[in-house]
Amino acid sequence: MALPDPKSLKLLNHVPPRLLSAAERYLKAVPVVRELLSKETDTLLSELEGSLKPYRGKMSAFERLPVTGRSREEVLRELQALEAQEEGRWREGKVSGAVYNGDEEHIDFLNRVYALHSQSNPLHADLWPSATKFEAEVVAMAASMLGADAANAGKVPAEHVCGSMSSGGTESIMLAVKTYRDWARETKGITKPEMVAPSSAHPAFDKAAHYFGVKMVRVPVAADYRADVAATRKAINRNTILLIGSAPGFPHGVIDPIADLSELARKKRLGFHTDACLGGFVLPFARTLGRQVPPFDFRLPGVTSMSVDTHKFGYAAKGSSVVLYRGTALRAHQYFTATEWPGGIYFSPTFSGSRPGALIAVAWASLVSMGEQGYLEATRRILDTADALKQGIRAIPELHVLGDPLFVIAFGSETLDIFKVMERMGERGWSLNGLHKPAAVHLCVTLRHAQPGVAERFLADLREAVEHVKAHPGEKGTMAPVYGMAAAVPFRGLVSDLLKKYMDLLYKV
Ligand SMILES: *Cc1c(COP(=O)(O)O)cnc(C)c1O
């Protein structure tokens, strides 16, 4: 299909956004344009459909319940076949992030823990007091790792760092935003709450803003890709309830100036959330290993909440995270109670009602089986691998590393279309993350990349990819123009519409 040249679209970036969205609405209302757009998106999506649905026509698919149940052996055989198809790439370390540990023995151990507790649900604290014990201990261990010991010293228990487990980083962040919204309404009477975040902060904050009626004010990052403190200060007004920083942020892997940001928040009596979803189980150990890690956790008096993902570098199974608060009074705004329901008095600390006790047990088992020594060793291997990768990428003249990252390495190019490089890497099995604003690609280094030979293979393939793109300037690629256009097209509503159609596609059997 004919995609507009991203370069020509960039000119439109100088048009005021309000004018653009008005133009977009106007254009979409013109039947010819609408028809053209829907034809173009349909073509694009049907091209994607094949690669998204590789099992179609190759195995049984269910659009309704089978009348009689299938045999367990048959179901297991099918699941095993699917797993065998899919495990290769992450096991070999060909993907950015995604599987953070992946060691066979570690996974087997977690699976045994899951099997033991698969029926457990902390909603029934009387039936499964073990789930409550595990959750309380995971929260305590995460807090202690993130500066709570120093923060709690000399304080009464109600002022200690506390928290909850959630289903993942997004839920942890959404819980925190909802907590601040209710805190600000009750303690300050703010009814039109706003929060200020650097452009790099995770979209989970936008999602929370969208769900909970909080206005998101995004501030561009500075030249080093870290949050801009002066610009953040300017964005604060009387409705501001919360400032945000990441340690590190997902796109460029750099740590925001949390000390300055949180101090700004403290002086203005605002909440401050450090998003350590990605770095919470890495940075404390990196510091012990002698790396330069700026302060980012509860040791800073202005940090009032944090998120940290047990299901990333905590090496637990997917579906668990921790949200932490400074003091139980703040956490109380997260809780929900219903006292008038005929079903009895009801309470729930997080968004879900019933929760998977098994995943809490798995997170607990991961933490206590790894121990400080285990996390230190894992962090050492990841940082050494990341160092080798950074060095190798910097040695390629056409590429440059964005900012000064620890273990999430974003790189771009002044002379080549970096998305074409990414596409070429994709042909060699590497699944990297495409970034935009500016166009770049990143690799989140995990234990998978610390396996012997993986970093060397990555760098060799990257050198080849760069040479290939240089030697074939006319080659368009299939995904590269889509990325280019998604990054450059000024009508963001169109991009959003396309993403919604893409999600529809995911739900097609
Ligand atoms: C992964 C991540 C999140 C969101 O976590 P999910 O577990 O995907 O919901 C938030 N912030 C950062 C920095 C992350 O890396």
| Amino acid 77: pLDDT | 96
Q: Is 202 in the pocket of ligand 1 (CB under 6 A)?
A: yes
Distance CA 448, CA 378 (A): 11
Based on DSSP, count helices (H) and strands (E) in the chain, helices before strands: 18, 13
User: How does DSSP assign 195-232, residue by residue?
Assistant: EEEETTS-THHHHHHHHHT-EEEEE---TTSS--HHHH
| Amino acid 3: pLDDT | 44
Q: Is 170 in the pocket of ligand 1 (CB under 6 A)?
A: yes
For residues 108-139, one letter each, b for 16 or more C-beta atoms within 10 angstroms of the residue's C-beta and e for the rest, the string is eebeebbeebeebbbbeeeebebbbebbbebb
Residue 369's contacts (CB-CB under 8 Å, 6 or more residues apart) are: 106, 109
| Amino acid 17: pLDDT | 66
Task: Give yes or no for a contact between 37 and 31, defined as CB atoms under 8 angstroms apart.
Answer: no
In this structure, how many other beta carbons lie within 10 angstroms of the beta carbon of residue 482?
19
Distance CA 436, CA 171 (A): 25
Q: Is the peptide bond before 203 cis (omega within 30 degrees of 0)?
A: no
| Amino acid 166: pLDDT | 98
Average pLDDT per run of 10 along the chain, which is 509 residues long?
A: 45 62 74 78 83 90 96 96 93 95 96 98 95 98 98 97 98 98 98 98 98 98 98 98 98 98 98 98 98 97 98 98 98 98 96 97 98 98 98 98 97 96 96 94 97 97 97 85 77 86 92
Instruction: Indicate the top mutation candidate among 275, 318, 323, 442 to test ligand 1's pocket, ranked by most ligand atoms within 8 A of CB.
Output: 275
Radius of gyration for the chain, computed over Cα atoms and rounded to the nearest angstrom: 24
Task: Give yes or no for a contact between 205 and 176, defined as CB atoms under 8 angstroms apart.
Answer: no
DSSP 8-state secondary structure symbol assigned to residue 249: -
Both structure tokens of 15: 């048009």
Ligand 1 centroid vs 253 CA: distance in angstroms? Answer: 12
Instruction: Indicate the top mutation candidate among 200, 207, 221, 309 to test ligand 1's pocket, ranked by most ligand atoms within 8 A of CB.
Output: 309
> What structural domains does the chain harbor?
6-56+484-506 (no CATH), 115-368 (3.40.640.10)
Residue 464's contacts (CB-CB under 8 Å, 6 or more residues apart) are: 424, 428
Instruction: Indicate the top mutation candidate among 177, 202, 256, 444 to test ligand 1's pocket, ranked by most ligand atoms within 8 A of CB.
Output: 202
